């Protein structure tokens, strides 16, 4: 069997799923992560992570401007569409989040599905502007020790702890996706 056919054996119950799956599939070492209580997350990370809103809207409100989507890895399986992306401020290019999603694109209209697959608009904005009602339900909060790839994406010189969350995306009471979102260092550490 060729290496391109080998699929990583990562559980969808893993702390970093689907980020760990996307990294493993790409042959990149997975960052270390541990579960933490939300009240132990320092500010400003806590207000950016501990809520039920989508991250695109939260980040745009916090930074006072739009974020742009930069795809880092994209692939599909029979039912699921996976992507790892970087969200960066449109005006400066400063990274504000790296995330990975596993989503059932078949749960959306043809128009929304095409827009998701175009990889041009952050998912939260795309769904809000498309009138799609959904819920982001945080299921776990994370302290992440970045791998070298994540350090490069976030312009880091040393592997300082980062914070993130694992979220389930729900629509009409049905789970349609899993998301892991990791924030870069606050500006004072950058």
Number of structural domains, the chain?
Answer: 1
Spatial CB neighbours of 187, under 8 Å, sequence gap ≥ 6: none
Say whether pTM exceeds 0.85.
yes
Residue 76 sits in a domain whose CATH number is 3.40.1410.10
Going by the DSSP 8-state scheme, the letter that residue 79 receives in this structure is S
Q: What do you get for the CA distance between the two ends of the chain, in Å?
A: 43
Residue 7 lies in a domain: no
Residue 70 covered by a domain: yes
Is 10 contained in some domain? no
pLDDT in tens, the chain (190 residues): 333 343 445 556 689 999 999 999 999 999 999 999 999 999 999 999 999 988 999 999 999 999 999 999 999 988 899 999 999 999 999 999 999 999 999 999 999 999 999 999 999 999 999 999 999 999 999 999 999 999 999 999 999 999 999 999 999 999 999 999 999 998 754 4
Structural domain of 124: 30-183
> Scanning the structure block, which residue is given the tokens 């990370």?
45
**DSSP code for 121:** S
Greatest CA separation for the chain: 50
Q: Which residues contact 91 (CB under 8 A, 6 or more apart)?
A: 65
């Amino acid at each position: 069997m060729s290496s391109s056919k080998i699929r990583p054996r990562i559980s969808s119950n893993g702390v970093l799923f689907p980020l760990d799956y996307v990294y493993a599939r790409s042959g990149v070492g997975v960052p270390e992560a541990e579960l933490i209580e939300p009240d132990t997350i320092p500010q400003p990370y806590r207000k950016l992570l501990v809520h039920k809103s989508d991250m695109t809207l939260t980040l745009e409100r916090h930074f006072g401007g739009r974020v742009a989507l930069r795809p880092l890895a994209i692939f599909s399986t029979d039912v699921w569409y996976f992507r790892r992306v970087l969200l960066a401020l449109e005006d400066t290019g400063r990274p504000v989040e790296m995330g990975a999603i596993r989503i059932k694109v078949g749960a959306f209209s043809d128009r929304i599905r095409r827009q998701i697959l175009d990889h041009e608009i952050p998912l939260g904005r795309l769904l809000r502007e498309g009138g799609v009602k959904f819920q982001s339900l945080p299921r776990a909060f994370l302290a992440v020790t970045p791998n070298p790839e994540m350090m490069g994406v976030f312009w880091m010189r040393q592997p300082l702890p980062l914070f993130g969350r694992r979220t389930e995306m729900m629509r009409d009471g049905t789970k349609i996706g899993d998301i892991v979102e990791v924030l870069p260092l606050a500006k004072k550490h950058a």
